[in-house]
Structure 1
């Protein structure tokens, strides 16, 4: 027997007791106060005896046995595939490249996210230039032996300038189109610049191809800094929130599209998926 507590806005049991005259069809309550009354019930779980399992009875539960075998086989196969995917992920995860000896007075960090579209990465030589309200940087060349601007990658470039740029207003990105075939083009998703002296961050929404055979055919593009209004706009918040929720909150999808900087690995997520499946099967058997 329960009653509705208007102060706590919840069903409570204090002051109420079940009468001995209650039956399966009806419940009689004795309460020492007047309020809205009701009844509640709990379905007891079935008792499972795992130690009493007999192989002779597996024929009667063929669907359950087949489901478990298929789940374990899929888990083993996917775990092997994920192991190779993790190795690839570690190679392209957050490449940090120093472009000079950082002996100049003002240091900056430029982070560039390459898109996840097919052939979004490039093997062309990339250069960039920053424009500030106080000064402009020189044209900097990202000249590395390893091709770091791969598909769906995050690259951090650390460099210094002789003059402080002030508030960064524009970012110019370009490449020499020297990559072979589809590796010449480059899709830039977004970028960010951090002044390491002040800690100020400037964001750039790119979302464009730098390619001679795609879009407008330009390999040199200049992107303006995102304003506060841009960062609060629905066009930015909704896709960012949707992607973050799918990558972090959806357990099954996150195995494939987890964020690159997450410490919760794909193997761990896959193990949680298997545990959730098996626990759901046990719960179904109990109730």
Structure 2
């Protein structure tokens, strides 16, 4: 615990599954602890024995200790809960044990102090409890605009930026959804019995797209297809970084495909490949 005023006398009450009172609590202490160093006097160590084996939701209540004639204290208190343990390697049981070891008062969210009565292979683990975010209390921040306009403006700018990014990303998703579909070529003959699916992947580098009308012929062991125009009236094709699917038909099987003949009419504003 880090108080903004030193010394800051206060009482701590810990409750289990409910807010503690003066008479009903799991643990209680007063701070600063007398006869301790600067690092230790605002540190409260709670062992599993003190917690009475309770696991789950706990409530911490802080009550300032005011002297006679003092109505209030203008101070803040920063509290960081840490779960830490000190263990040693028991070579007989081949397991980590904590007998003879305990966590020291100098433990922080960065280091763990272990106080042990024996020498062996030691290990430590700790977990810093993250601060919970309560979205329902976000509106309370804007009520303090006069007190801290910089923070309120910064948070508001983050919200606006987030909304703009969401709108931009949604529009991009809609465009991508339109692109991901197969195109049945308009010059196909409905009476054809054989169908071929052609996938064209356009590169991502600058200038990889083309505005030309592309024509393709399939070359097979048993014959060739007629020229087909690879166009789609409902969406642009051959854009940069695109994947276009075309379904073309032939009256008879072409056999094993051996190659393709591809050309364009050099039309549009950027006809080059």
Q: Does 1 or 2 have the higher relative contact order (CA < 8 Å, sep 6+)? A: 1
TM-score normalized with structure 2 length: 0.48
Structure with max Cα Rg? 2
- The structure whose residues are more often helix, as a share, is 1
